[in-house]
């Protein structure tokens, strides 16, 4: 029988990555009682470990012309639906957050010429990260200044009173104990959503269930599969040398400076040119040496030997990650949501910083640090004025019963099987990348059935499976949001490609999608982008949008 433990605090931060740690540190620096909770291990959870490549910085010594060049590049590549105010905030504050991380002991490394900085995708500058990345340093900083860290606790629901978020409830993955957090302000910083990493969109799910508005979840960030029989991380494929060929040996155009593999591979597959291969046979000895040097700074990837040569199959499906474009809609630059007492940071925050396309590796990590710091300040200011929260005991009883119900069920659907069914629906390229209204509707029909019939009947044999059950609930909710947003945006833009609407539609879709719960149903609408941020509609379409979609 689980026991209930109550934790009282001024600020509760959910999610222990870069964004969550910055939020916790900022709130604690203001003298508040701060609790940081993570379902994994703060500073070492998967999204934080994955962020071991680059951190984007903008040097304040650069002139305003350089800043404007970066802002224009984001608008162009993000296809004009970024929020320029947030883009500028992230760029301007990235340097201070980088310096702060360095002072905490974050693992930054130098490039081949000895510089800390590299222009991977001009005009953007990034700092390379070493194997340890930034997570351990963030955790140490939080612990040093007195943040209370609680690892391996899965948060399942936010607590509300009078329309205000007053904390959260969850359970320990080690003991099974129920944890009730009473907080004057809460920050969501749980990362993005994918199916194959332990990032299951918890933040968006928690915010949506609490009544918050979610924005811009039709855009995705994708990685192609590699040969599952090869002992190689995909990150190794991003080490300096990349040459792709199709099934007939014809070259696949790809910008080797970019660490982002866009939808070009999916388009080729749709044309019948699969499988796509990474062609190591054409690598020169210099290419091999550069790959080795790059991987030495990430020795977890050394299972891959660049000397082996060969043609490595790269595409047969993909991981789908929801882009850092969207998340909970923010009402100010202190990262407050529409729900009093609730703040969001990192990939949970709908800043729309990069627009419709994730431009360069490192932007997401910089955005996490910047928004985390701002959310921590905003939450601290709110908590300093808030009264002690009053929790409805009857609500707690109902929520606790729902948390542990799968353990008591003893029969129904096994969570791993449910996850495989979801993956079978969502990972084909013709659902997540090459979209069509008919296929999206078909996928949504299956997801609705899973939500209504299968999810309520999942059961768990132990605490690990109980975690899976709650994660899968969040995945299903996020998938439904993705499908509905994808159906709603009847155009193509950035990583959102509709085969039945293969062209950008200006000015109709110079807008952000917004979605929230409306009596148990998802209500969608458009938020027009201010005209001052529009492109010049008098210029030719081909000039406004240099990148072509199939069918245009």
| 413-440 per-position pLDDT tens digit | 999 999 999 989 988 889 988 999 999 9
Q: Would you state the pLDDT for residue 270? A: 86
Alpha carbon 485 to its chain's center? 16
At residue 7 the predicted structure's pLDDT band, cuts being 50, 70 and 90, is very high
pLDDT digits (tens, 9 = 90+) for 479-531: 999 999 999 999 999 989 999 999 999 999 999 999 999 999 999 999 999 99
**Mean pLDDT, rounded, for 318-333:** 77
Q: Which two tokens stand for residue 283?
A: 């690598």
Q: Would you state the pLDDT for residue 315? A: 55
CA distances to 224, 263, 520 from 159, in Å: 39, 40, 18
Q: Is 286 exposed, middle or buried (0-12, 13-18, 19+ CB in 10 A)?
A: exposed
pLDDT digits (tens, 9 = 90+) for 261-300: 455 677 888 888 888 888 888 888 888 777 776 655 444 4
Rg of the chain over all Cα atoms, to the nearest angstrom: 23
**Mean pLDDT, rounded, for 37-49:** 82
In DSSP terms, 266 is beta-bridged to none
At residue 119 the predicted structure's pLDDT band, cuts being 50, 70 and 90, is low
Q: What is the mean pLDDT of the chain?
A: 87
SS3 letters across 366-416: HHHHHHHHHHHHHHHHHHHHCCCCCCCHHHHHHHHHHHHHHHHHCCCECHH
Q: Would you state the pLDDT for residue 349? A: 95
Quick check: 2 and 171 in contact, CB under 8 A? Answer: yes
Task: Give the C-alpha separation, 491 to 487, whole Å.
Answer: 9
**Mean pLDDT, rounded, for 184-196:** 85
pTM value is 0.92
* Whether pLDDT at 45 is above 60: yes
Task: Give the C-alpha separation, 453 to 458, whole Å.
Answer: 10
Alpha carbon 36 to its chain's center? 19
At residue 76 the predicted structure's pLDDT band, cuts being 50, 70 and 90, is very high
Q: Would you state the pLDDT for residue 257? A: 36
Residues with Cβ within 8 Å of residue 302, at least 6 apart in sequence: 295, 296
Alpha carbon 319 to its chain's center? 12
Q: Which two tokens stand for residue 152?
A: 């391996």
Residue recorded with tokens 């043609």: 311
Which among 147, 159, 107 has a CA at the least distance from the CA of 128? 107
Neighbours of 542 (CB within 10 A): 9
CATH topology of domain 404-544: Methane Monooxygenase Hydroxylase; Chain G, domain 1 (1.20.58)
The structural domains of the chain, with segments of one domain joined by +, span 227-316, 404-544
* Whether pLDDT at 260 is above 50: no
Q: Would you state the pLDDT for residue 172? A: 98
Quick check: 322 and 192 in contact, CB under 8 A? Answer: yes
* Whether pLDDT at 342 is above 90: yes
Q: Would you state the pLDDT for residue 222? A: 59
More confident residue, 374 or 116: 374
Pairing state of beta strands 244-245 and 277-279? antiparallel
* Whether pLDDT at 211 is above 90: yes
In percent, the amount of the chain with pLDDT more than 70 equals 85
Neighbours of 448 (CB within 10 A): 13
In DSSP terms, 329 is beta-bridged to 350
* Whether pLDDT at 544 is above 60: yes
**Phi, psi (deg, nearest 5) at residue 33:** -80, 115
In DSSP terms, 149 is beta-bridged to 36
Q: Which two tokens stand for residue 326?
A: 């969207």
């Amino acid at each position: 029988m689980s026991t209930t433990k109550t934790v009282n605090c001024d600020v509760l931060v959910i999610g222990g990555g870069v964004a969550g740690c910055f939020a916790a540190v900022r709130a604690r620096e203001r003298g508040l009682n701060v609790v940081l909770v993570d379902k994994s291990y703060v500073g070492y959870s998967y999204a934080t470990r994955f962020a071991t490549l680059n951190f984007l910085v903008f040097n304040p010594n650069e002139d305003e012309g350089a800043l404007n060049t970066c802002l224009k590049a984001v608008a162009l590549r993000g296809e004009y639906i970024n929020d320029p105010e947030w883009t500028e905030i992230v760029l301007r504050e990235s340097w201070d957050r980088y310096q702060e991380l360095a002072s905490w002991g974050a693992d930054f490394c130098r490039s081949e010429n000895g510089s800390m900085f590299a222009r991977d995708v001009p005009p953007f500058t990034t700092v390379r990260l070493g194997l340890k990345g930034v997570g351990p340093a963030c955790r140490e900083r939080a612990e040093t200044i007195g943040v209370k860290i609680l690892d391996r606790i899965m948060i399942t629901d936010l607590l509300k009173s009078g329309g205000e978020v007053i904390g959260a409830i969850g359970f320990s993955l080690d003991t099974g104990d129920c944890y009730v957090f009473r907080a004057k302000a809460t920050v969501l910083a749980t990362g993005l959503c994918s199916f194959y990493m332990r990032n299951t969109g918890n933040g968006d799910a928690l915010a949506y269930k609490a009544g918050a508005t979610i924005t811009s979840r039709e855009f995705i960030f994708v990685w192609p599969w590699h040969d599952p029989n090869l002992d190689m991380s995909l990150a190794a494929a991003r080490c300096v040398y990349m040459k792709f060929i199709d099934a007939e040996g014809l070259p696949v155009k790809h910008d080797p400076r970019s660490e982002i593999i866009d939808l070009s591979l999916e388009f080729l597959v749709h044309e019948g040119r699969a499988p796509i291969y990474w062609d190591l046979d054409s690598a020169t000895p210099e290419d091999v040496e550069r790959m080795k040097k790059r991987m030495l700074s990430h020795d977890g990837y050394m299972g891959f030997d660049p000397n082996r040569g060969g043609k490595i199959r790269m595409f047969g499906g993909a991981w789908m990650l929801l882009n850092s474009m969207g998340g909970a809609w923010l009402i100010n630059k202190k990262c407050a949501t529409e729900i009093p007492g609730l703040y969001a940071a990192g990939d949970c925050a709908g800043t729309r910083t990069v627009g419709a396309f994730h431009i360069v590796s490192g932007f997401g990590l910089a955005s996490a640090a910047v928004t985390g710091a701002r959310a921590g300040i905003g939450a601290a200011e709110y908590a300093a004025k808030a009264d002690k929260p009053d929790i409805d005991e009857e609500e707690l009883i109902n929520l606790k019963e729902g948390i542990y119900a799968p353990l008591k069920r003893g029969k129904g659907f096994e969570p791993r099987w449910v996850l495989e069914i979801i993956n079978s629906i969502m990972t084909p390229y013709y659902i997540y990348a090459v979209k069509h209204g008919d296929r999206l509707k078909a996928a949504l029909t299956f997801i609705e059935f899973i939500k209504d019939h299968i999810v309520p009947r999942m059961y768990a044999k132990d605490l690990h499976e109980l975690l899976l059950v709650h994660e899968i609930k969040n995945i299903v909710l996020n998938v439904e949001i993705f499908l509905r947003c994808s159906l709603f945006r009847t155009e193509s833009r950035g990583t959102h490609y509709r085969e039945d609407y293969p062209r950008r539609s200006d000015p109709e879709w110079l807008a952000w999608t917004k979605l929230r719960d409306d009596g148990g149903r998802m209500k969608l609408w458009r938020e027009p982008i201010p005209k001052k941020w529009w492109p010049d509609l008098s210029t030719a379409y081909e000039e406004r949008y240099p990148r072509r979609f199939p069918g245009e």
